[in-house]
Chains A and B, each alone.
Chain A
Amino acid sequence: MTLTEDRPGRGPRGGRPRPPAGTRSPSAPRALLRWPRAATPWIFLAPVLALFGVFKFWPTLWGMYLSFFQVRPYLGNKWVGWANFRTAFHDAALRSAVEHTVIDALVTVAASAVIGFGLALLLEGPARHLRILRTAAFLPVVTAMVAVAELWNTILYPGGYGTLNTLLGHLGLGPEPFLSSPHSSLASVMLIQVWKSAPYDMVIFVAGLAGIDKQLYEAAAIDGAGAWHRLRHVTLPSLRPVTTIVITLGIIRGLRVFTEIYVLTGGGPAGSTETIVTYTYKQGIQNNQLGLASAVSTVLFLVTVLLTCLTLWWRRRKEA
């Protein structure tokens, strides 16, 4: 209703008493738009909650449920207890996928942060040419991951004709196999991921740098601190909150890496770039092991929840 709490029973104009909440207005079309006041927030929230319910919570809960079944499309599901989890735990392919995922998440997040920080130091400032350079360097971030993967698939083509190999050839190096060898495939994927995410970190750090009080630098300079000491004792501590957020969110997001891996290598060669999500996708969609895939996804979900809660708890404790 239109009434506010502090003016009970008073109408819009002239103090005419209003009908109590919930009564129908005499004009029929407007009556459709009337509802009890307590329902208002729920009506505004209804579309989002319905969508989340159907496309987020239902699949999540169903996935947890399926984890305990052998899913058989026409025969009905068969309860198998913890068997899917046990199978997953003993699967060497999954174990190496977990390994790749963790390495990939940690290395790319750390490398992006370091390179992004370097870029920010180089390109920070209000000058026009710096703005243009920042905009240019940011282009990989907005480019769809699929296009980035396609592009780098060609650049990293293994033969001597490959674009980067041609370049390396001029320098007397290579040719490198890049994505086509199990020894260098994961490193090549990580290179591409860092290429796409380092400029993102750059923009965050640029904003962080701009927020540092310039007087701190002057004070440090007067105290005789050299460039390195100012970086070490003024810049880095000031950026610590931003950095922890960039890193924790990056790692949590990194655990669910899929698109770039699937498009670049499909998890190969010889499983050398298999990650948790490419593994579940293959088990679930290609091998029809829906129960096993659900079990792995459930564990991934729970780990994500745990890490997110830890991050939130840790940040709140720091702020308090």
Chain B
Amino acid sequence: MSAPTTALGLRMPTRAWTRTAVRAVLYAAVLFVFVMPLWTMLATVFSGSTLKTGQMSLFPGHFTLTNLRTAFRFGVGRGLLNSVIVTGVGLFLQITVSAFAAYALARKKFRGQALVLLAILATMMMPEEVIAIPLYLVLGKVPDPLGGGDLLDSYSGLILPVVGWALPIYVLTGFMKTIPVELEEAARVDGARDLRIFFQIILPLCRPALGTCAVFGFLMIWDQYLLPLLVASTPHMYTMTLVVTSLSSSQEQPEGVRMAASLMLMVPSVLVYLGLQRLFERGMLSGSLKG
């Protein structure tokens, strides 16, 4: 920055070069603290040098794919597949049902509306961590809509509990309220009914908000740990988070292999974040500032 004061109005040390130097050192410190650990993970995965437990590489000397290949031999492929299925289907359902609910909340006035809003608020105080034990019992009672048995150790059990989420309902309700009602009224005069108005007018206009919800929903479902821990009991149902922890608890794999699994867990989130950063920050701020 060329201005003598920062945007904050704090004057940095007077002489320009001192100021630049101090800032550069602080920038380097930020990168060292927040990025370096992630970089060492990457370097360790692709490094062929033998490491003692707890050691990590700074640079991938003797570049190799062995760690990655070994990790895939120990369930990373299956974990990725499961996580992609659960996140893909879960996210699609989450956004669909949230958009439906948001349409009713944003556009309709009905008896019991306040109660519904209260119920949605209440669910925010019932995360898996708080209801883990009874949730586990419930999952053992509810039949799997996709086939025999209950929800334990099934895809439905990994997916359905994360579909209902208050955040996208709030985001979409808020967004739909900003869409002018006149657009729908024109369609109504032409004889369109709620379902058609919803799909042909409201949903296309909601695209930015849907994007925000998709980013948040992706991270929320992808990062799930406690729910898969409760649901998945056989390794072929393990999602990526469980594969990572089970690989490390075996303690037999070298750092490189364990870091390879962690890397595979991390890369999709980072790609989604980097690709859709603007949507992400907008959602974060609307969530935290307006509450």
A162 interface residue per 8 A CB criterion: yes
Chain A: minimal CB distance from B220 (Å): 11
**A133 contacts B30, CB within 8 Å?**
yes
**A146 contacts B265, CB within 8 Å?**
yes
**A230 contacts B9, CB within 8 Å?**
yes
A281 proximity list for chain B (CB < 8 A): 132-133, 226
**A294 contacts B133, CB within 8 Å?**
yes
B171 interface residue per 8 A CB criterion: no
**B138 contacts A54, CB within 8 Å?**
yes
**A146 contacts B134, CB within 8 Å?**
no
**B164 contacts A55, CB within 8 Å?**
yes
Contact residue among B6, B164, B255, B258 (Cβ-Cβ distance under 8 Å from A125)? B6
**A150 contacts B104, CB within 8 Å?**
no
Binds B, one of A92-100, A105-113, A115-123, A181-189: A115-123
**B269 contacts A143, CB within 8 Å?**
yes
Chain A: minimal CB distance from B110 (Å): 4
Chain A: minimal CB distance from B58 (Å): 9
**B38 contacts A121, CB within 8 Å?**
no
B116 interface residue per 8 A CB criterion: yes
A27 proximity list for chain B (CB < 8 A): none
Q: A49-B116, A124-B7 are in contact. Are A305 and B223 (CB under 8 A)?
A: no
A87 interface residue per 8 A CB criterion: no
Q: A143-B38, A246-B288, A304-B125 are in contact. Are A119 and B30 (CB under 8 A)?
A: yes
State the majority secondary structure of interface residues on A: helix
Contact residue among A41, A142, A207, A256 (Cβ-Cβ distance under 8 Å from B113)? A41
A161 interface residue per 8 A CB criterion: yes
State the majority secondary structure of interface residues on B: helix
Chain B, interface residues (CB within 8 Å), range: 35 or more
B273 interface residue per 8 A CB criterion: yes
For residue A200, which residue of chain B has the nearest CB?
A: B284
What CA separation (Å) do A121 and B26 show in the bound complex?
11
B23 proximity list for chain A (CB < 8 A): 122
B129 proximity list for chain A (CB < 8 A): 256-258, 277
For residue B129, which residue of chain A has the nearest CB?
A: A256
B164 proximity list for chain A (CB < 8 A): 48, 51-52, 55-56
B126 interface residue per 8 A CB criterion: yes
What CA separation (Å) do A262 and B97 show in the bound complex?
32
**B185 contacts A4, CB within 8 Å?**
yes
Which residues of B, 1-33, contact A by the 8 Å Cβ criterion? 1, 6-11, 23, 26-27, 30-31, 33
**B10 contacts A231, CB within 8 Å?**
yes
**B138 contacts A139, CB within 8 Å?**
no
Which residues of A, 112-165, contact B by the 8 Å Cβ criterion? 119, 121-127, 129-130, 133, 135-140, 142-147, 150-155, 157-159, 161-163, 165
CB-CB contacts of B166-202 with A at 8 A, as 1s and 0s? 0001000000000000000100111111110010000
Chain A: minimal CB distance from B52 (Å): 5
For residue B53, which residue of chain A has the nearest CB?
A: A157
CB-CB contacts of B123-136 with A at 8 A, as 1s and 0s? 11111011111111
CB-CB contacts of A39-62 with B at 8 A, as 1s and 0s? 011101101110110111111101
**A45 contacts B262, CB within 8 Å?**
no
CB-CB contacts of B87-122 with A at 8 A, as 1s and 0s? 000000000111011011100101001001001101
Which residue, of A57, A146, A158, has the highest number of chain B Cβ atoms within 10 A? A146
**B101 contacts A227, CB within 8 Å?**
no
**B258 contacts A217, CB within 8 Å?**
no
A265 interface residue per 8 A CB criterion: no
A208 proximity list for chain B (CB < 8 A): 289
Which residues of B, 223-258, contact A by the 8 Å Cβ criterion? 223, 225-226, 230, 240-241, 244-245, 248, 255, 258
B44 proximity list for chain A (CB < 8 A): 154
**A204 contacts B132, CB within 8 Å?**
no
**A151 contacts B101, CB within 8 Å?**
no
Known: A51-B163, A207-B281. 19 other contacts (CB 8 A): A4-B188, A13-B191, A34-B193, A45-B100, A55-B161, A57-B123, A59-B137, A63-B131, A119-B30, A124-B6, A133-B27, A140-B34, A142-B280, A143-B266, A217-B9, A230-B8, A245-B288, A245-B291, A285-B230
Between A and B, 16 residue pairs with Cβ closer than 8 Å are A44-B104, A44-B198, A54-B160, A55-B164, A59-B131, A135-B274, A139-B35, A146-B244, A150-B248, A150-B262, A227-B11, A246-B288, A258-B129, A280-B132, A281-B133, A297-B133
Interface positions of B (Cβ within 8 A of A): 1, 6-11, 23, 26-27, 30-31, 33-35, 37-38, 40-41, 44, 52-56, 96-98, 100-101, 103-105, 108, 110, 113, 116, 119-120, 122-127, 129-138, 142, 160-161, 163-164, 169, 185, 188-195, 198, 219, 222-223, 225-226, 230, 240-241, 244-245, 248, 255, 258-259, 261-263, 265-266, 269-270, 272-274, 277, 280-281, 284-285, 288-289, 291
Closest 8 CB pairs of A and B: A157-B54, A12-B191, A217-B9, A51-B164, A63-B134, A44-B104, A284-B133, A41-B104
